[in-house]
Chain A
Amino acid sequence: QSVLTQPPSVSGAPGQRVTISCTGSSSNIGAGYDVHWYQQLPGTAPKLLIYGNSNRPSGVPDRFSGSKSGTSASLAITGLQAEDEADYYCQSYDSSLREVFGGGTKLTVL
């Protein structure tokens, strides 16, 4: 049971928009700690996708965006492409547990 809750899976057709939620609590996201998002392609290490709730590192397409409100955060992917098929993880800081991750969401491009 992960401290941050993500849907196990989401799917969408090429070109569509999908969102992945990340729900925490008052000891992590709700306490004001930043949320980061990682993309893990099959068989590879995670890669930083979004940092500080809504910022993209250099090289990440603007099709990826993040937001945060209250005790939750969301990752949105627009103009879905086949290469976006991957696992996505949110991460934040918890005042009791330190660094915490969501359970991960598998994105399937139909």
Chain B
Amino acid sequence: EVQLVESGGGLVQPGGSLRLSCAASGFTFSSYEMNWVRQAPGKGLEWVSYISSSGSTIYYADSVKGRFTISRDNAKNSLYLQMNSLRAEDTAVYYCAREGELLSSFDYWGQGTLVTVSS
């Protein structure tokens, strides 16, 4: 069974940093592209970042470019999101999502981890 489990969320002050993790199981993690998607409270979904299966290709949404860094450790079946210079508008539930074989749709999602940026 495919499972994605996020962790690392919490309360952080504006300007602070946080590192999110996503532990994958039930599939060959190193074969799949991965994404981070966030959802602000009461709002819609916003794509944040993409990383290829090998980690060699990375993309970011303009809203986080230069502040967030996506990475992965295929030996540990884990995906990461390093978030620096956090702002109030980064407050959201962060989901990791697998970009699967179904025409690059996001076929599996984690349960999400809440990041709250507030003083």
Contact = CB atoms under 8 A, between A and B. Distances in A.
A34 B103 contact: yes
Interface residues of A, number: 24
Contacts of A51: 102-103, 105, 107
Interface in A69-110: 89, 91, 93, 97-104
B107 A57 contact: yes
A36 B106 contact: yes
Interface stretch (A13-21, A24-32, A40-48): A40-48
A45 B45 contact: no
Contact of A104 (B44, B59, B61, B108): B44
B109 interface: yes
Contacts of B112: 45
A2 to B, nearest CB: 6
B104 interface: yes
A104 B45 contact: yes
Interface residues of B, number: 22
Nearest to B106: A48
Given A45-B112, A51-B107, A101 B102 contact: no
Contacts of A67: none
A28 to B, nearest CB: 12
Interface-centre pick from B62, B106, B107 (highest chain A CB count, 10 A) = B106
Interface-centre pick from A52, A55, A98 (highest chain B CB count, 10 A) = A98
B47 A98 contact: yes
B80 to A, nearest CB: 19
B104 A98 contact: no
Interface string B84-96: 0000000000010
A38 B108 CA distance: 11
B46 interface: yes
A52 B45 contact: no
Closest 8 CB pairs of A and B: A52-B103, A99-B47, A51-B105, A36-B105, A104-B44, A51-B102, A45-B109, A101-B45
Interface of A: 2, 34, 36, 38, 44-48, 51-52, 55, 57, 89, 91, 93, 97-104
